[in-house]
Amino acid sequence: MKKPIHITSEIGTLKKVLLHRPGKEIDNLTPEYLERLLFDDIPFLPKMQEEHDQFAETLRNRGIEVVYLENLTAEALRTEELRRQFVEKVLYNSKYKENGAYEHLKNYLLDLPNDELVQKVMSGVLKKEIQKNKRKHLYEIMEAHDPFYLDPMPNLVFTRDPAAGIGNGVSISRMYSEARRRESQFVRTIINHHPDFTDDEIPEWFSEESLVPMEGGDQLVLSDRVVAVGVSARTSPLAIEKLAENLLNSSGYEKVVAIEIPKSRAFMHLDTVFTMVDHDKFAIHHAIQGPAGKMNIYILEKGADGEMQIEHRENLSDVLKEVLSLKSIVLIPCGGGDRIDAAREQWNDGSNTLAIAPGVVVTYDRNVVTNRVLREHGIEVLEVPSSELARGRGGPRCMSMPLVRASLSD
């Protein structure tokens, strides 16, 4: 039987992918809350949806099955008990656990049919939506102080981050910031309760219940033996070691490569500065490499005694050649390596490519220099429009959670 999750590389032909079509959550963004909600601007939703639909169409045109987070979640909530658990988890991960201030909110949500329930949880709930006479806690009453009963989740469009497939298993993220922590509950619900996923035992390499953060944008499945994980503003070394222990003990994975990147907004995840585009080619933003190309890279593997062994390395190209057993590799610089073009295009996710087959990537049309340089290196580049999509600081890789890719040996 076909496995519901099969991801043994970054580049194997993509067969099935999970997306989220941006919705009303975007229309609840206001300038005041942009920082708290990790968004940089207020997109024009109809245009953003149009661009997102073109992204999905580009994938479908290449024979890829596109499924949506909102639909699978609504389908998975098959009993009253599951609906209740889902809502309670989401609210628990919000800030309303303190003094039971969420009872009315919970009842309000549970009165809705599944598709509306899911939409509401995504879009957020304004205090004014709940009847005044039902609000009794201080927080509920103080509407001007904060209009949101439940914050919107504008980052759901970045399905890459709350979970990632590795091998036939999944790593469900403990998101770094409160703004995104609830997002993991959607994939959790799907994996545990959607009929397309429950027939099979899906190993879990990392859980959202963990105390230390890790996000999917930092995880790159380099091969069926090696996973790379960014040590970033969002993913901690403690989390990476935990993931490595699980992978090295109970999967075919033999090495986890921890790659330290600068902790800044522009470089929030490894995939904003480094993605795989072909068997031996990678898109990279040169600024992650220090003087003379030096970086901090650590290879975690099991020693002969079964203990975890960690080795330090400094050169990315050498590490990639070593762990992928390649004679040579090519790093394709974002913006062609030009200081201005590289910084501008990295900000708009120039290196955040989504490989849909070896040497075939989906990118944003606005990154003209990077796209040209990728083509000069023999990569087929499928461009998608990006005026509005780019405003949340995530590109085609961030906007997709691959569920099934062909193995490279197929």
Ligand X SMILES: NC(=[NH2+])NCCC[C@H](N)C(=O)O
Give me the 34-53 binding string for ligand X, x by CB under 6 A, dash otherwise.
Answer: ----xx--------------
Give me the 341-360 binding string for ligand X, x by CB under 6 A, dash otherwise.
Answer: --------------------
Contact 359, 278 (CB under 8 A): yes
Q: Residue 398 catalytic?
A: yes
Binding to ligand X in span 374-393, by CB under 6 A: 392-393
Contact 241, 282 (CB under 8 A): no
Minimum CB distance to ligand X, residue 156 (Å): 10
Give me the 257-296 binding string for ligand X, x by CB under 6 A, dash otherwise.
Answer: -----------xx-xx------------------------
Contact 295, 357 (CB under 8 A): no
| Cα–Cα distance measured from residue 185 to residue 310, given in angstroms and rounded to the nearest whole number | 33
- State the amino acid at position 64 in one-letter form: I
Give me the 160-179 binding string for ligand X, x by CB under 6 A, dash otherwise.
Answer: xx------------------
Nearest Cα neighbor of 269 from 229, 315, 232 is 232
Choose the catalytic residue: 261, 268, 354, 398: 398
Minimum CB distance to ligand X, residue 211 (Å): 20
Enumerate helices (H) and strands (E) in the chain, giving the number of each: 14, 19
Residue 73 or residue 159: which is nearer to ligand X going by CB? 159
Minimum CB distance to ligand X, residue 272 (Å): 5
Residue 158 or residue 364: which is nearer to ligand X going by CB? 158
Cα torsion for 130, 131, 132, 135, to the nearest 10°? Answer: -60
Per the rule left: phi > 0, alpha: psi between -120 and 50, beta: everything else, 334 is beta
Minimum CB distance to ligand X, residue 170 (Å): 16
158 binds ligand X (CB under 6 A): yes
Task: Tell me if residue 202 falls in helix, strand or coil.
Answer: coil
155 binds ligand X (CB under 6 A): yes
Size of the site for ligand X (CB under 6 A): 16
Instruction: Name the CA radius of gyration of the chain, rounded.
Output: 21
Classify strands 204-206 and 169-172 as parallel, antiparallel or unpaired.
Answer: parallel
| Cα–Cα distance measured from residue 245 to residue 265, given in angstroms and rounded to the nearest whole number | 29
Which residues are known to be catalytic? 398
Residues near ligand X (CB under 6 A) are 38-39, 155, 158, 160-161, 180, 217, 268-269, 271-272, 392-394, 398
